[in-house]
Structure 1
Amino acid sequence: MISATEDEPLHVLDLPQVYESPSGTDLIKALALLTLQPRNFGASAEAVKGPAVHPTGVNRYLTQIISSPLSWLQTDELREAVWDAAAARLSERSGRTAMPAMSRVFDVPTGSVEDYTLTLHEPSLTADNLGMKTWVSSYLLSRRLHNLLDSAPKLVPSAPTDISITSNKLRALELGSGTGLVGLAFAALRGKSATIHLTDLPEIVPNLAHNAALNIELMNRTEATVTTGVLDWSEVPEPQPTAEERFDVILAADPLYSPKHPGWLAQTIGAWLSRGLDARVLTEMPLRDAYLPQVQELRDRMAQLGLGVIEEGEEVGYDDWQGADGDALAVKCWWAVWGWSEKV
């Protein structure tokens, strides 16, 4: 019987070996023990794993299974299942981009007894669909939202005559939603007092809409209103949005990964943010050395629009971009709440 404790991890030699002609069931159970999940984003650098198996020799063990004809197993279907499981375990050890599609569960603090739980689907990643990955800054902002939404001044319209408000509901827009963690967290926390429109590029929106549908039970329970759609920052909206079309809150997490993004992002915020003094922009982004000039450019461009930082801070999370057997990657992030410095 395969068993392990936290203090006494299994050795790969404790697992069923190919030369022993183990049953397909035993092989599949052993391969399940070797499943690796992406790292946590939180304050701990520990990986999320199943029962511990010492990593020494695991890659060789998996390769032996993949290269074996498994001729003692009775059906092609069983052999395929074992090979597929072994290949998946090997890919998980080849870095985050090699991992297969997955569903991930995130807890969203509410400031009360019960946290909310969101389920997000992430497709298998390639170099051209990194927007479908949940990034650490999104995770950190989603966990900070319940505090930011109650910060002074509160993110609610001060004047009921503000023409940007429809039916007394706060109107929110998320830019570069990715998997939708921040926007869906905002929706659940705000419930029936707000509507939110989650946006991204055309190739990302289908998975974004899928994630909104995955969380329909929570959205219904909190009476949240969520829509999704395409919004390309590089395109200047023509005609310019009217006061009724603008949003009271704009959210953006990890929005800068191209030299063009500071200008595009500021341009989009300037077009879509309500001109009311209670309008807010909530951002969080990693302070990676290569992108520090872009962060500063964004600050400059926001100031040119008349937007200043009302509240800000730094925090550290652990991204899952490193290989599953490598060291956790600590990422310092900067969060900020922006508001109009004067009536625009």
Structure 2
Amino acid sequence: MSISIADFPQVWQKPSSAELLASLKRLQVDPPIWSPRTSRKIILETYQNAAQFRREVAAYLSSIIKSNLGWIQDEDEKEALWDEASRRLSERCGRAGMGEITRRWPLETQASSPFELIIREPPITGDCLGLKTWGSSYLLACSLDKIAKESLSHLIQLGGLNQSLDVLELGSGTGLLGMAAAAIWQTNVVLTDLPTIVPNLAHNVEKNRSAIETLGGSVDSGDLTWGSEDDSAERFAQKNQFKIVLAADPLYDDDHPELLSSAITDHLMKEKDARVVVMVPQRDLTTKRLMTKFVSAMEASSLMILEEHILLGQDDWDDDKENSDIECWWAVFGRQ
């Protein structure tokens, strides 16, 4: 590692609060950003080399938390050090242990210069899975350029504005995929999710709106609850108005396959050239079962798989696993 805990001020040395605070700031970490271009070999080497360092850091942070810091006179300074050390420790307990974070996600496209999206993730509480940016959404976002050229070339002209093309994302979460599509495809994308998720989604849309519009895209957000007849928005009162529907990592409940299929049927245009792009990480047997159930529900609605693929990427569904390669199934559907 580039830094060594042995070089940090130790509790037994009775360093000043300023010295300890500076060390704790240096140990701040953010969740990883996964890239499909990172090889499995490099990932394994990185984590193997870091394992010992992580143990040393945990011990160092614990030594500060357990100490009464008796040589420091100011009680507020002591509290600040304990709080900071506790935050550093929680950061190493997985995403669920963190508070609010903001991450920058780099993206590339052949049609424009590299750009990044700035995504806020509130603290993860309860079952608010939509407040976290999942690795699969980034994996699919990084593939949008290729998908446009190979799977959606009849709809998308890369390098040219596609403003007449309306795209809907279902289950947008923090908005990474939908905003990336707006920027890379230079088109209109409406991002949707549950009412409890939309406030943070809308925040991220506004944060990135200027950058997306500079690249030729436009973006909006709104409430859309699958299977509900009371969607807030007049925006969705008219059915079958979107030429492309996107969804990444949308299945984690037994009801979701039918609900997602129903939402797609309601909002996808009825033209034969309309398309659906869905990615489902194959985490376990349950996820695979939900995917199979979803495909059957789509077929029952005369939406058939036109092509399907597997992408290998990084996933952090289980916070206990610091690194997890996972196969992400994705498919393009069209009307029969």
Q: Same fold (TM over 0.5)?
A: yes
- Corresponding residue to 2:263 among 241, 249, 268: 268
Q: Does 1:338 align with 2:300?
A: no
Task: Give unpaired runs (5+ residues) of structure 1.
Answer: 159-166
38-47 or 114-123, which deviates more: 38-47
CA drift at 1:212: 0.9
CA drift at 1:327: 4.2
Aligned partner of residue 56 in structure 1, secondary structure? helix
Match of 2:174 in 1: 179
* Contact 2:148 2:156 (C-alpha < 8 Å) held by counterparts: no
Q: Aligned pair in 2 of structure 1 residues 297, 323: CA closer, same or farther (>3 Å)?
A: closer
Q: Aligned pair in 2 of structure 1 residues 37, 52: CA closer, same or farther (>3 Å)?
A: farther
User: Deviations 1:120-163 (Å, cap 9, x if unpaired)?
Assistant: 011121232111111121111101111112225525289xxxxx
Q: Does 1:14 align with 2:7?
A: yes
Which residue identity lines up with residue 325 of structure 2 in the other structure? A
CA drift at 1:39: 2.6
Match of 1:234 in 2: 227
Alignment partners' CA distance in 1, 2:111 and 2:263 = 34
Q: Residues 200-211 of structure 1 correspond to what in structure 2 (within 5 A)?
A: 200-211=193-204
Alignment partners' CA distance in 1, 2:287 and 2:105 = 27
Match of 2:127 in 1: 128
- Corresponding residue to 1:298 among 294, 297, 302: 294
Aligned partner of residue 274 in structure 1, secondary structure? coil
Q: Aligned pair in 2 of structure 1 residues 155, 227: CA closer, same or farther (>3 Å)?
A: farther
* Contact 1:157 1:278 (C-alpha < 8 Å) held by counterparts: no
- Corresponding residue to 1:312 among 299, 304, 308: 308
Task: Give unpaired runs (5+ residues) of structure 2.
Answer: none
CA drift at 1:180: 0.3
Alignment partners' CA distance in 2, 1:331 and 1:147 = 20
Match of 1:56 in 2: 55
The RMSD of aligned alpha carbons is 2.7
Q: Residues 1-344 of structure 1 correspond to what in structure 2 (within 5 A)?
A: 5=2, 10=4, 12-42=5-35, 43-44=38-39, 45=43, 54-73=53-72, 75-112=74-111, 114-152=113-151, 154-156=153-155, 169-191=164-186, 194-236=187-229, 242=238, 246-288=241-283, 289-323=285-319, 327-341=322-336
* Contact 2:136 2:314 (C-alpha < 8 Å) held by counterparts: no
Aligned length: 320
* Contact 1:266 1:298 (C-alpha < 8 Å) held by counterparts: yes
221-230 or 65-74, which deviates more: 65-74
Aligned partner of residue 33 in structure 2, secondary structure? coil
Q: Aligned pair in 2 of structure 1 residues 152, 176: CA closer, same or farther (>3 Å)?
A: closer
Q: Aligned pair in 2 of structure 1 residues 253, 260: CA closer, same or farther (>3 Å)?
A: same
CA drift at 1:322: 4.7
Which residue identity lines up with residue 18 of structure 1 in the other structure? V
Q: Which is helix-richer, 1 or 2? A: 2
* Contact 2:9 2:19 (C-alpha < 8 Å) held by counterparts: yes
CA drift at 1:265: 0.5
Which residue identity lines up with residue 289 of structure 2 in the other structure? P
Alignment partners' CA distance in 1, 2:292 and 2:92 = 36
